[in-house]
Amino acid sequence: MDHLHPNPTLSRTQPRLIIHGGAGAITRTNLPPASYRAYKSALLTINRATMTVLHDGSTALDAATHAVRLLEDNALFNCGKGAVFARDGTIELEASVMVSRGERKRGCGVMVVKRVKNPVLVAREMLVRGDEDGGGGGNGGGDGDPAGGSGGAQGHCQLSGEGVEELARGWGLEMVEERYFWTRRRWDEHRRGLKSEAMGEVSFDEVAEEEGWRQKLGAGGGEDVGGLGGPGWDGHEYLPQGTAGCVALDRYGTLCVATSTGGLTNKLAGRIGDTPTLGAGFWAEEWEIEPSKLYRQPDVRSPLQRLVPDTLRELLGECLPSIRGYSHVPYSEVNKKPLQQARRAVAMSGTGNGDSFLRLSGVRTAAAIARFAPHRSLASAVQQIAGVGGELQRSAGDRWHRTGEGEGGIIGIEFVDGKGKIVFDFNCGGMFRTWVDDRGEEMMMVFREEYEIYAPDRWTL
């Protein structure tokens, strides 16, 4: 199916959507009421805007990238404008998209992006331009063509750094200076983290780093860059970690996942996480379910035959052929109607400790469980990977709750029997998420239970 021009005659599916804004060690203590309300307002606004896009007939690809673009533009989340700093004081962004069908590449990821305002749109362009490519070889060659003679990044599914930024510029995407991504909260988080490590003899040149950003931000001589870029961070309030992402199902029955992140706080420069890595932090696929091999054989016997036991019928059949009836013909040879192949699809986005997702190929493993294990739903597969006591948690071993390893969650949609089902699970304190439930009600949650505001005399919603 062409995602840009879907067939309107196939629009029978109820659109579904789920969005997440990161997961981690969130508690009611480090997420005060004012912060909770800010995240709730932001996520519900993005959810409503994206559902409008879906109901207007747009594709899952358009809807998912629309949602993630809005997340990237909001400094509350660890992607785009609100991304974390790397150890060397730079900001390196990652993003990805993948569809269950309709594009030759199906999935694309970008990494070490520093100057594209919305990295998710670069990944989208790589995907939709993929049909213009002749293949994945290195024989492109148009002079002055940033794609090397082929429109969709020469068939490649992953690109990084200056190379992908050059493509983005050639495709007309909005470019920004690095200072656009700078926020005081993330700057404070970065510096506090390195100072804490310095007590363990891990030092950094704070003066040189601050001078570099002062020049980028255009701050005056001697001005503390921490005074720019909005409110600071007190060291206690939770700041979202991990990936922000969206999974969408459109009316044409196609699924899309889109993700974006700044990665881990104070990561090494050049580090590549699960967000742009196919199968680790994002995945979408569909397949046909084989017709059931268990057929219910119709009872074609006459009323008299049904009344006479089989053993007696055999004895009487020598004298009364009408009792015996016709010779048995295997049902596989007669009266068997061909069954249509049923289509099933899944799409997921992971968030949390990316290195743990990488070691497990987290979301692709969940998809494989749903696809190849008999009678397993996507919900049960996600629980096995990302739920409490699941494979992500087990992968951390004795480092669980000490290093952040293994912490995370997964959101997704399963499409089966012509309907989409929202799924999610997580093993850590909380996961920012919003969706519309099966009753059509708008939902936003962080913890497993509703967020409550403590008052001296009672708990209130």
Strands of 16-24's sheet in order across: 158-160, 107-113, 93-99, 255-261, 244-249, 16-24, 430-436, 442-445
Q: Tokens in use for 30?
A: 């480090």
Q: What DSSP element (H or E) covers 113? A: strand 107-113
Q: In this structure, how many other beta carbons lie within 10 angstroms of the beta carbon of residue 297?
A: 10
16, 419, 372, 378 alpha-carbon torsion, rounded to 10°: 40
Cβ–Cβ under 8 Å, residues 391 and 365: yes
* SS3 per residue for 344-372: EEEEEEEEECHHHHHHHCHHHHHHHHHHH
**Angle (CA) 358 364 368, round 5°:** 140
Nearest to 332 by CA among 362, 369, 295, 307: 295
Q: Where are the alpha helices (DSSP H) in 300-450?
A: 303-307, 310-316, 321-324, 354-360, 362-372, 378-386, 391-395
Question: CA 322, CA 311: separation in Å to the nearest integer?
Answer: 15
Q: Are 76 and 82 in contact (CB under 8 A)?
A: yes
Residue 72 CB neighbours (<10 A): 28
Q: Is 365 a catalytic residue?
A: no
Q: Token pair 């939770």 is at which residue?
A: 238
What lies within 8 Å, CB to CB, of 424 at 6+ separation is 18, 20, 382, 409, 410, 411, 412, 431, 433, 435
**Which position among 50, 243, 277, 365 bears the catalytic label?**
243
For residues 320 and 307, what is the distance between their CA atoms, to the nearest angstrom?
15
Active-site annotation, residues: 243
